[in-house]
Amino acid sequence: MRNLFIAIFATLPLFGMAQNVWEKPQTTAPQEETTKKKSLFESNKKAVDPKYLAGAVPVVDGKVTFTLDKDITGKSAQEIYDIVFATLEKMTKEENQFKTSQVAIVNKQDHIIGARFKEWLVFQNTFLSLDRTIFNYTVIATCTDEHLNVTISRISYAYEMDRGVNDGMEMRAEEWITDENALNKKKDNLSKYSGKFRRKTIDRKDNIFETLLEALK
């Protein structure tokens, strides 16, 4: 068989085919396959909700401050004050709260309420894993006739303090969840470490504001 193979190739010049023109054919298949895989990866990449991206964490006078500024039609300052006070008081007794959470100070004449919260902010809770952080923040509510202004500020975190992992971490919002610290360079995705803090803080802020507005309906 080997001699037959040699004999066949020996006759090739007789058909006008020079031996030195033989070469391995080019193919684009691997490149096409790579392109398909890349396209598939990009199409499967989960987009981040814009509400967590650039501008979602406002910084006012150097402090992370979330603000609710809402007209409350048909209610007086006192009515708004009473409802907001009761709602915040109820929040301090929720299951995720520490005993130190409280409505700390009020100005009944000017209808201003100050509450300080220390609670668990849960990232993941499964049978095998509980990932959470202590979440500290202050709520200031100012009530006027047919209007409510609420701010959430003085935000900080104490993470893994109960696990003994490098003695845990304590961070202020200003150094942890701002655009500069919690987003990637393109500002189109959350960072690996502080991104989950930013996401859950925004979710909790939305929950608090929605709870207050629902109570005022």
**Global pTM value:** 0.78
pLDDT digits (tens, 9 = 90+) for 104-162: 999 999 999 999 999 999 999 999 899 999 999 999 999 999 999 999 999 999 998 87
Extract long-range pairs of 202-209: CB within 8 Å, 24+ residues apart.
Answer: 202/51, 202/52, 202/56, 202/57, 204/121, 204/135, 205/66, 205/152, 208/91, 208/139, 208/152, 209/66, 209/68, 209/150
Compute, in degrees rounded to 10, the torsion defined by CA atoms 138, 198, 207, 72.
Answer: 70
**HSE-up (13 A, CA, CB side) for residue 52:** 22
* Average pLDDT of the chain to the nearest whole number: 87
The pLDDT of residue 1 is 56
For the cut 50, the answer to whether the pLDDT of residue 74 exceeds it is yes
pLDDT band at 14; cut points 50, 70, 90: very low
